[in-house]
């Protein structure tokens, strides 16, 4: 029986974070009372004319540049014709063609953290408009909410033949892409609200075969987990069919999250079915090279560049750098702490361990916390100076998290300042040795493992406030004195 290889193409839709819709001035937002953000233009009423949203076009261009695409000098909008109740105009404004989309022929690198980087080629980055939503009513009927209709939507499609070959790569591609969109501020990236949607198409073929298998497209994936599970399921399903000499049908399948399986939604349409033609109401867009280059200079530092800089400049591990660079709110918090004199290593450690846990438990975003970057700087400094132990710092951070107080004041009010004064520690050691002459005798006779017990006793005597490193050092010194 042959082995099979999988090929995964990724189609990602990102709702753009503009204030208004693509061709009218209705506000863009999530949820709300149905049909309250609509007007004659986005409802497609006769006699209206669309006016393209400049901000949306610029967001797509910036994304295309960040994804190493060529920018089209001339780009037109097409009508994609089909009927569905969520599409009030009877067509969707989109962009068709090889070199017509605002951006084409780009790439995104994945796998940098595992040491085997790989370029995933991108076929197109284009601009279109979102549809409305069908709502299933409690009485069994259906309603339509057009609040979302006409929201600017960016589509990012990978090249064929696909470079992505596993569910893990599919998930990583989506993760990296989402981070870039967040850094550019063009999409809020909320998969659970549908503002970022991923529709992978999957095919398998016998290993070494030059001909690609029939692909199926998967929908309803509303988390990274679903994307990975869904792609893995579809690969297994198709392999099972081929192993039994069956035929994979070209179709769109939905993902059932509860059952962790996919089901047939509809047979897949061909591109010709949509009768694309240039929208006569919308003038072609023209971009000149100077304008494109000017826009390129406004791109922020992207996650991959940021990671490299954190490793080179701050000596962080690639894994830690990746964790910080993943979210712009986290990286700017980290950089603010470093700018305020924090040491990158300890600040990073504190952020991704104790601080991350506190935020997670409280369900807060980093920007919502009362702990500001300068407080973390102060806290790491207290530990470094030996004023408090690493263990105490956890309690101080937790207090700071609740109260928003300054770490140094919290330390004072808790009375937990660490004892690092060698004289004070020596005094405690002498008391402990006097209390346990039998243990001392064991040590002198060669049982060096009893030292831990003595160290523990000294720590206990100081209520845990003695600097553990110092205690270790001074106990050895005292015991080994001839």
The phi and psi torsions of 295 (rounded to 5 degrees) equal -70, -35
Contact window for Zn ion (CB under 5 A) among 34-42, 188-196, 199-207, 381-389: 34-42
As measured in angstroms, the least distance from the Cβ of 240 to Zn ion is 47
How many CA within 13 A on the CB side of residue 162? 24
**Minimum CB distance to Zn ion smaller for 144 or for 479:** 144
Q: How far apart are alpha carbons 146 and 160 in whole angstroms?
A: 34
**Minimum CB distance to Zn ion smaller for 132 or for 213:** 132
As measured in angstroms, the least distance from the Cβ of 20 to Zn ion is 8
Two structure tokens written together for 155? 């589509």
In sequence order, the 6+-apart residues with CB closer than 8 A to the CB of 176 are 108, 109, 110, 303, 304
Contact window for Zn ion (CB under 5 A) among 24-32, 63-71, 202-210, 406-414: 24-32
As measured in angstroms, the least distance from the Cβ of 278 to Zn ion is 22
Q: Check residue 227 for interaction with Zn ion (CB under 5 A).
A: no
Q: Check residue 28 for interaction with Zn ion (CB under 5 A).
A: no
Between vectors from CA 262 to CA 256 and to CA 263, what angle results, nearest 5°? 100
**Minimum CB distance to Zn ion smaller for 52 or for 345:** 52
As measured in angstroms, the least distance from the Cβ of 181 to Zn ion is 24
As measured in angstroms, the least distance from the Cβ of 87 to Zn ion is 14
- Beta strand ranges found along 65-215 (DSSP E): 70-71, 74-75, 78-81, 91-94, 103-110, 118-129, 133-136, 142-145, 152-158, 196-206
Contact window for Zn ion (CB under 5 A) among 26-34, 49-57, 126-134, 338-346: 26-34
Q: According to CB under 5 A, which one of 34, 35, 39, 44 is a site residue for Zn ion?
A: 39
SS (H, E, C) 404-419: CCCHHHHHHHHCCCCE
Q: Check residue 24 for interaction with Zn ion (CB under 5 A).
A: yes
Q: Check residue 42 for interaction with Zn ion (CB under 5 A).
A: yes
Q: In sequence order, what DSSP letters do the residues of 189-245 get, joined into one string?
A: --GGGTSEEEEEEEEEEETT-SSPPPPEEEE---SHHHHHHHHHHHHHHHHHHHHTT
**Minimum CB distance to Zn ion smaller for 24 or for 28:** 24
Contact window for Zn ion (CB under 5 A) among 36-44, 57-65, 126-134, 160-168: 36-44
As measured in angstroms, the least distance from the Cβ of 150 to Zn ion is 6
**Minimum CB distance to Zn ion smaller for 24 or for 105:** 24
**Minimum CB distance to Zn ion smaller for 41 or for 377:** 41
As measured in angstroms, the least distance from the Cβ of 127 to Zn ion is 17
As measured in angstroms, the least distance from the Cβ of 36 to Zn ion is 11
Give the residue among 325, 330, 291 at the shortest CA–CA distance from 310: 325
Q: How far apart are alpha carbons 93 and 185 in whole angstroms?
A: 23
Q: Check residue 26 for interaction with Zn ion (CB under 5 A).
A: yes
Contact window for Zn ion (CB under 5 A) among 25-33, 47-55, 76-84, 342-350: 25-33
Q: How far apart are alpha carbons 203 and 190 in whole angstroms?
A: 27
Q: Check residue 196 for interaction with Zn ion (CB under 5 A).
A: no
Q: How far apart are alpha carbons 314 and 61 in whole angstroms?
A: 32
Q: Check residue 425 for interaction with Zn ion (CB under 5 A).
A: no
CB 23 within 8 A of CB 56: no
Please name every residue paired with 206 in a beta bridge, in sequence order, or none if there are none: 4
Q: Check residue 22 for interaction with Zn ion (CB under 5 A).
A: no
As measured in angstroms, the least distance from the Cβ of 37 to Zn ion is 7
Q: Give the number of other CB atoms < 10 A from CB of residue 176.
A: 20
**Minimum CB distance to Zn ion smaller for 42 or for 458:** 42
Contact window for Zn ion (CB under 5 A) among 6-14, 37-45, 65-73, 393-401: 37-45
**Minimum CB distance to Zn ion smaller for 51 or for 441:** 51
Q: Check residue 170 for interaction with Zn ion (CB under 5 A).
A: no
As measured in angstroms, the least distance from the Cβ of 21 to Zn ion is 5
- What sections of 70-163 are H helices per DSSP? none
Q: At what angle do helices 390-403 and 407-414 cross, to 10 degrees?
A: 110
Contact window for Zn ion (CB under 5 A) among 22-30, 261-269, 298-306, 323-331: 22-30
| C-alpha to C-alpha distances, 189 to 148, 178, 182, 344, nearest whole angstrom | 16, 6, 7, 28
Q: How far apart are alpha carbons 431 and 61 in whole angstroms?
A: 73
**Minimum CB distance to Zn ion smaller for 27 or for 315:** 27
**Minimum CB distance to Zn ion smaller for 39 or for 424:** 39
Q: What are the residues binding Zn ion (CB under 5 A)? A: 24, 26, 39, 41-42
């Amino acid at each position: 029986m042959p082995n099979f290889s999988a090929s995964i193409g990724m189609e990602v839709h990102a709702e753009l974070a503009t204030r208004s819709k693509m061709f009218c001035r209705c506000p863009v937002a999530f949820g709300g009372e149905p049909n309250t953000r609509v007007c004659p233009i986005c409802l497609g009423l006769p006699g209206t004319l669309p006016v393209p949203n400049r901000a949306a076009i610029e967001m797509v261009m910036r994304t295309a540049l960040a994804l190493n695409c060529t920018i089209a000098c001339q780009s037109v909008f097409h009508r994609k014709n089909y009927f569905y109740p969520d599409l009030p105009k009877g067509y969707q404004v989109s962009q068709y063609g090889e070199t017509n989309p605002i951006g084409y022929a780009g790439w995104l690198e994945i796998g940098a953290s595992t040491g085997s980087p790989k370029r995933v080629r991108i076929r197109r980055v284009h601009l279109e408009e979102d549809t409305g939503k069908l709502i299933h009513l409690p009485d069994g009927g259906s309603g339509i909410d057009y609040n979302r209709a006409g929201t600017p939507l960016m589509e990012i499609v990978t090249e064929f033949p696909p470079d992505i070959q596993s569910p893990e790569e599919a998930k990583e591609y989506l993760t990296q892409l989402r981070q870039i969109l967040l850094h550019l501020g063009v999409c809020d990236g909320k998969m659970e609200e549908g503002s970022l949607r991923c529709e992978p198409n999957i095919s398998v073929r016998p290993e070494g075969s030059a001909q690609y298998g029939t692909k199926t497209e998967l929908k309803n994936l509303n988390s990274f987990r679903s994307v990975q599970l869904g792609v893995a399921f579809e690969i297994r399903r198709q392999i099972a069919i081929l192993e039994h000499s069956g035929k994979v049908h070209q179709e769109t399948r939905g993902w059932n999250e509860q059952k962790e399986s996919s089901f047939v939604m509809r047979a897949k349409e061909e591109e010709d079915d949509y009768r694309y033609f240039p929208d006569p109401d919308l003038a072609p867009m023209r971009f000149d090279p100077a304008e494109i280059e000017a826009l390129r200079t406004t791109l922020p530092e992207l996650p991959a560049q940021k990671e490299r800089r954190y490793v080179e400049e701050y000596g962080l591990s690639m894994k830690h750098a990746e964790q910080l660079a993943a979210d712009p709110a986290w990286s700017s918090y980290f950089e603010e702490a470093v700018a305020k004199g924090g040491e990158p290593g300890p600040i990073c450690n504190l952020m991704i361990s104790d601080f991350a846990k506190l935020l997670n438990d409280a369900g807060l975003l980093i920007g919502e916390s009362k702990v500001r970057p300068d407080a973390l700087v102060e806290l790491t400094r207290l530990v470094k100076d030996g004023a408090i132990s690493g263990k105490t710092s956890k309690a101080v951070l937790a207090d700071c998290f609740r109260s928003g107080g300054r770490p140094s004041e919290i330390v004072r009010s808790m009375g937990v300042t660490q004892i690092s004064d060698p004289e004070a520690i020596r005094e405690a050691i002498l008391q402990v040795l006097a209390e346990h002459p039998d243990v001392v005798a064991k040590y002198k006779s060669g049982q060096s493992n009893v030292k831990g017990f003595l160290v523990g006793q000294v720590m206990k005597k100081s209520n845990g406030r003695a600097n553990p490193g110092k205690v270790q050092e001074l106990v050895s010194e005292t015991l080994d004195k001839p």
